[in-house]
Amino acid sequence: LNNFSPFSYEDLEKVANALKSKVSLKEVPTIGIICGSGLGDLAESVKDKQILPYKEIPGFPNTKVVGHKGNVVFGYLSGKYVMCIQGRFHPYEHSMQLALCAMPVRIMHLLGVHTLIVSNAAGGVNEKLKHGDVMLIKDHIFLPAMCGFSPFVGAHDERFGPRFISMHGAYDLQLRKKALEIAKEQGINVFEGVYCMTAGPQYETPAEVRMLKGFGADALVRTRIRTWSLRWRTQKFWIRPKKQVNEYANL
């Protein structure tokens, strides 16, 4: 697309229509899933799937982060027709253009998605969290937005929804209850907590971790805030430096 703008409703409609022209949708996808670092294989469980690489979608940047496959996957998961995103766009890769990073979610909505499930790997701040634990987000701290970086900053189109939105109840209570019920049935221990997003790509300093822990954060990550989410705890952020952390250790 020439002169593509992630702020333009018409441009995103063109991307959504291009997606529909390249795959034969079996039905309207009502559930969207964004697979984070190391979790892209979730899409392998999708049945009767159709896979479209990002590079074949007009207007879609490519993802270069380890563990992100860069595909859109349509198909059936437990009888529901879903749309999976294998790899997101990170603000630090795209000059903090959060409207661009939000583009896949807006395209999901244009295609019919109304329930969004997001997963990613994160670093644990709360000492109760152990390596490999699952955290269900109940609230978040979005530091970039507090500094003026938000998908709602810049040109605005009411067709995307209101600019001034309440963040109370951002993580759907009924979906969270259902997730806890299913986790209990499956014998999975799930921790509900507060998720904090920083800008990255550098990891937080010990002083920053102490500050964010004081704010009430249970887990930290540098790339995304979304709606109903699960977080896999893959790191331990030390209050005092004991060892370096890198992206491969994160995975």
Counting Cα atoms < 13 Å in the Cβ hemisphere of 157 gives 13
Q: pLDDT digits over 2-14, tens only?
A: 678 888 899 999 9
The pTM of this model reads 0.80
Q: What is the pLDDT of residue 242?
A: 45
> Above 80 in pLDDT, residue 169?
yes
Q: What is the pLDDT of residue 52?
A: 93
The number of residues making up the chain comes to 251
Q: pLDDT digits over 110-154, tens only?
A: 999 999 998 877 888 888 888 888 899 999 999 888 888 888 888
Q: What is the pLDDT of residue 67?
A: 58
Which amino acid is located at 181 in the chain? E
Backbone angles phi, psi at 90, to 5 degrees: -95, 135
Q: pLDDT digits over 205-251, tens only?
A: 889 999 999 999 999 876 544 344 554 444 444 444 444 444 434 44
Q: pLDDT digits over 71-112, tens only?
A: 999 999 999 999 998 877 776 676 667 788 888 899 999 999
197 contacts: CB under 8 Å, gap ≥ 6:
140, 141, 142, 143, 144, 220, 221, 222, 223, 224, 225
Do 135 and 231 contact (CB within 8 A), yes or no? yes
Q: What is the pLDDT of residue 95?
A: 67
200 contacts: CB under 8 Å, gap ≥ 6:
90, 91, 92, 222, 223
184-202: average pLDDT: 88
Distance of alpha carbon 129 from alpha carbon 230, whole angstroms: 14
Q: Structural domains in the chain?
A: 9-250 (3.40.50.1580)
Measure the CA angle with vertex 246, ends 244 and 203; round to 5°: 75
Q: What is the pLDDT of residue 234?
A: 44
Q: Report which of residues 49 and 229 the model is more confident about.
A: 49
The per-residue pLDDT of the chain, averaged, comes to 81
Structure tokens at 141: 């701290």
- Residue among 228, 189, 225, 196 at smallest CA distance from 213: 196
